[in-house]
Amino acid sequence: MSTPVPGSRRPGAVRLGTTRDGPRCALRDCLRDLHWMAATRFLVVIDDAVAVLSEAPDEREILLRALDDAVTFWAGRPGLPGQERSSFEVVLPGPPAAGSHH
**pLDDT score for 1:** 43
Checking if the pLDDT of 26 tops 60, the result is yes
Checking if the pLDDT of 4 tops 50, the result is no
Strand partners, 90: 44
Identity of the residue numbered 46? I
Checking if the pLDDT of 65 tops 60, the result is yes
Q: For the residues 28-33, what does the mean pLDDT come to? A: 85
**pLDDT score for 18:** 47
> 2: closest CA among 28, 24, 38?
28
Checking if the pLDDT of 63 tops 80, the result is yes
19/13 Cα distance (integer angstroms): 19
> 96: closest CA among 50, 35, 32, 46?
50
